[in-house]
Structure 1
Amino acid sequence: MSTIATPDRASAWQAFDWQLVGTEPLQPLQHMALDEVLLDEVAAGRRPPTLRFWEWASPAVVLGIFQSVRNEVDEAAAQRHGVQIVRRISGGGAMFVEPGNTITYSIYAPKALVEGMSFKEAYAFMDEFALEALGEVGIRAWYQPLNDMTSDAGKIGGAAQARRGQAVLHHVTMAYDIDADKMLQILRIGREKLSDKGTTSAAKRVDPLRSQTGLERDVLISRMVDVFRRRAGLRPGVLSPRELALAEALIHEKFATDAWRGKVP
């Protein structure tokens, strides 16, 4: 089950001036670059702690920084389905995403928020608001250490973290809806896990929030934002022209390069 925050830890959120940013749908490489830029901006004190919900403009497989392309992805299947392969700056497992089919968010926080916590504690702590929101719409959800969210019906999503200087990036992708057949064609690890468990249905492992709640995706996101606001306070914000320009430069210098994508062949 998820770690229950102590009063001191619960109030830790309120020590910071949180900002909410969202964007129009962006390409996968833009999201990868923005995560690095906003993490660095919070670490440098140029941006307040921030919660960002993502919108995807096109489908992608997002690899963790240490994952092998060939071990995780059937590249021919990805190309056939028009699915881009990108690599993020955090660890964790591969995620298959399509526009409108996931709920993805990032938290860019001062490291002081999780000071003294183990990695296991920090993961669960930073997602308590999301689990509380799911509970309010009838999903009994909990954290499966180290970085999985699960429910009685199956896995909901996964988290990853990266730390740099005095800031921590925590981001999550949750399955709202899912094309299980396509996912299994593209992700090799999914095939292996399903085979190991003697099942042919991805729904046995990843159960989307749409089927569990019957609610629209925007409704679920709004509930998560409301719970975060109750816990931490949250004011509207925007991405600055400088941040967007830095992200665009990073795409060309890093995230779109073969050296980064193929960091682990």
Structure 2
Amino acid sequence: MSLNASEKTGRSFFVADLHLTDERPVATGRFFRFLQEDVAGADALYILGDLFEAWVGDDHDEQVARDTARQLKSLVDAGTPVFFMHGNRDFMLAARYAARSGMTLLEDPARIDLYGTPTLLTHGDTLCTDDIAYQTFRRRVRHPLTLSLLRRLPFSLRRRLARQARAGSESAKAGKAAEIMDVNADAVVRMLRGHQVCRLIHGHTHRPARHVHVVDGHDCERWVLPDWYAGWGYVVCDAAGCALRVEDL
């Protein structure tokens, strides 16, 4: 049963790395039930990147894109705002799709006041500084000029480039040590210190956990969101703190 805007739950939900695609209907169905059964009536939903497996532009033609827009817009219209931050798979998502979905776009990183606790949100890929090749690629592809040029390409070409990028990414990961693709602890501390926060929530690494980092003598917490491949989950926060939930699909 959905709650109306006057029946707020006093909780905010955080997800990332759902990688939705028409090829994975189980994950899509689980996400829609999550919106209807868990998030309805919440103070906010934050999607911290990689909502979709790939995104070639706001003319993306998968059925899951249309269905997700309707589900999110329904949630927003019922009183729960949805915030979206780009990931490494859906950085081409722009204002047109955000408007269709009712989502508010966030910069990466974004600092929010979460029930009185300053909290920093990021997709997480910028923290993986040991992966030098990826960071170089990211800077190039996310440059505003590059994005503008990519969005002007014919749809068929963008789709082919996205497929090639996915294949190249999987091939590159196969040859890298696991620790290179995880966050760098010093980068985490720099980010926490630089934004003057003691809580960080991110995705990208697919390694759900709560970590403690000591920053200038203070214990700071880092929450890592789960992916939605074999399982699913989220972080939920309220005035008392945050909790991680991970379940099988």
What is the TM-score of this pair, normalised by structure 1?
0.30
Asked which structure has the greater RCO (Cα within 8 Å, sep 6+), the reply is 1
More helix as a share of residues? 1
What is the TM-score of this pair, normalised by structure 2?
0.32
